[in-house]
Amino acid sequence: MGYMVDGVYHVGDDVTQTLSSGAWERSRSTVRHWIGQGDFPAEAGRYHLFVAWNCPWAHRALLTRVVKGLTEAISVSYARPNRTDQGWVYDADGEFSDPVLGARAVHEVYSADPMRYTGRLTVPVLWDKVQGRMVSNESADIVRMLNDAFDGPDLAPPGLRGQIDDWNTLIYDKVNNGVYRAGFASTQDAYESAAEDVFDVLDQLDHHLATHRFLCGDAFTEADLRLFPTLARFDVAYHYAFRCNLRRLAEYAHLWPYARDIYAMPGVAETVRFDIYKKGYFSASEKRNPLGIIPIGPEIDWDPAPEREELSQAGR
């Protein structure tokens, strides 16, 4: 996948992400400036997102951009669906090109920052076009700062932030990252532990959503936004490619209608690319899919969204 040391790109694995127990551990993001603080004022047209369609962490940023009504204020570059030995890459023009820096790979974005970056090369990256530097490569920070810095629906109201943060902590560890801990585990015990965590929390969410339209009641919040990218990829990718196959999302009585409810929100469907998810998660991998054969299914009907407004009152 590649990594960078003092601003210089190197092909190959960076530091190991597999512990001696066989469990998989995600590296930490290290570029963590904040819009509204220091040299980063909240200005429409100033910021740009470097993302990849099949990355769920980048999906968080795309969802925030849409739900907050920032599609005109923040521009986007989409990387090609499959990574190469150069990591995430861009075409010279077209859908998967970069109109801001003309970068042909994400590592060129990182090297364009004067900080001389060291570490993994991840998306999303929030870029300041005025200063020519990165604001952040931490998706959770990007979601929260875009919410706080710009007008639009408040995805983290002060009175709900405690609940939102509690949900975020649980969902990140056991679901968002849990599917990766299952998919990249290198021992049976590590895989089973991670997969059981995933379904324990999905079961908990399904029970909760029997009486709540959204996780924190009747309002769509950051907690829902951060859960949705995993749900959108679950049946088409994680169920098969990552062996999270105890149950399909479509088998959940309340979680599945909830996911479809979010999918039907204005602009959300445009942030989802099921075709690219399959190409990405079933790309050739020595451990997970050595032949690189992409399955033709499953066919999943995300439309129409069910009527769930009656749960608004029950969730108050």
In angstroms, the Cα distances linking 202 to 47, 115, 155 are 35, 40, 22
Active site residue 47: no
Active site residue 55: yes
Cβ(216)–Cβ(53) below 8 Å = no
Strand 119-120 to strand 125-128: parallel, antiparallel, or no bridges (unpaired)? unpaired
Mapping DSSP onto H, E and C, the string for the chain reads CCEEECCEEECCCCCCCECCCCCECCCCCCCECCCCECCECCCCCCEEEEEECCCHHHHHHHHHHHHCCCCCCEEEEEECCCCECCECECECCCCCECCCCCCCEHHHHHHHCCCCCCEECCCCEEEECCCCEEEECCHHHHHHHHHHHCCCCCCCCHHHHHHHHHHHHHHHHHHHCHHHHHHCCCCHHHHHHHHHHHHHHHHHHHHHCCCCCECCECCCCHHHHHHHHHHHHHHHHHHHHCCCCCCCHHHCCCHHHHHHHHHCCCCCHHHCCHHHHHHHHCCCECCCECCCCCCCCCCCCCCCCCCCCCHHHHCC
Name 204's Cβ contacts closer than 8 Å, sequence gap at least 6. Answer: none
Q: Among candidates 73, 9, 65, 77, which has minimal Cα distance to 43?
A: 73
Q: Given 3, 47, 55, 244, which residue is catalytic?
A: 55
Q: Given 9, 90, 180, 240, which residue is catalytic?
A: 180
The answer to whether the bond into 157 is cis (omega within 30° of 0) is no
Query: Which active-site residues does the annotation give?
Result: 55, 180
